[in-house]
Amino acid sequence: NSVLKLDSFINEILDYSRNKRMEISAEQFELKELCEEILDNLKYMDDFSTIQVDLNGIKQSTVQQDKVRLKIILSNLISNAIRFQKRIPGHQSLIKISSERDLDITMIHVEDNGEGIRSEHNHKIFEMFFRASDTSKGSGLGLYIAKESAQKIGAKITLRSVYGKGSTFTVIAPDFNPG
């Protein structure tokens, strides 16, 4: 368990470093394929097998953006949804990933029916090393790295959450067309 925690922490540090030093590299890719790749990478997380993932709401198939950074952002959001699922008898944990398009902007929603976030923490969750409770398993870097990565590509992340009901994070990403 300690080795897995350390591995996760090292990967977060590498993501942070990668985001700081890498140039933006826009490419065209399939959003659903990216989400499937992320889920494949996360399948060894604790409790992954107990959660249902719905990708049917991905309407925007092709995205023109920095794939590496978008992967960092979505990986953090999805892994948090897995990590903070409700663990009560009879509850079916669910993550819905959906997207929509408005002109040259893609909005990607990561919605869960997990623990949710207390409203008094909403303004702090993107701060470095912030953890909503002492029992949180993470390092407090994930959402900070996601926010930093989003800023680098001209995107932003919004949150809608009801404590005890779940959260929806929305990544608002403009198409990136270099030149």
For residue 135, name the pLDDT band (cuts at 50, 70, 90). Answer: low
Give the dihedral sign, CA 13/19/20/23: positive
Residue 20, SS3?
helix
Q: What percent of the chain has pLDDT over 90?
A: 54
| pLDDT at residue number 4 | 65
Pair 161, 30: CB distance under 8 Å? no
For residue 10, name the pLDDT band (cuts at 50, 70, 90). Answer: confident
- How many degrees, rounded to 5, is the angle at CA 168 between CA 59 and CA 1? 110
DSSP state of 78: H
Average pLDDT over residues 134-158: 84
Pair 170, 157: CB distance under 8 Å? yes
Task: Name residues whose C-beta falls within 8 Å of residue 10's C-beta, 6 or more positions apart in sequence.
Answer: none
Per-residue pLDDT tens digits for 136-147: 666 678 898 899
Cα atoms in the 13 Å half-sphere on the side-chain side of 138: 25
Output the CA torsion 28→95→57→174 (10° steps): -40
Measured CA to CA in angstroms, residue 102 lies from 82, 134, 175 at distances of 29, 40, 11
Cβ neighbour number for residue 44 with a 10 Å cutoff: 9
DSSP H/E element including 150: helix 142-152
> Which of the residue ranges 3-7, 100-104, 118-122 would you say has the lowest mean pLDDT?
3-7
Indicate whether this model's pTM tops 0.75: yes
Per-residue pLDDT tens digits for 18-59: 767 777 888 899 999 999 999 999 998 888 999 999 999 998
Pair 143, 83: CB distance under 8 Å? no
In the chain, the amino acid numbered 61 is S
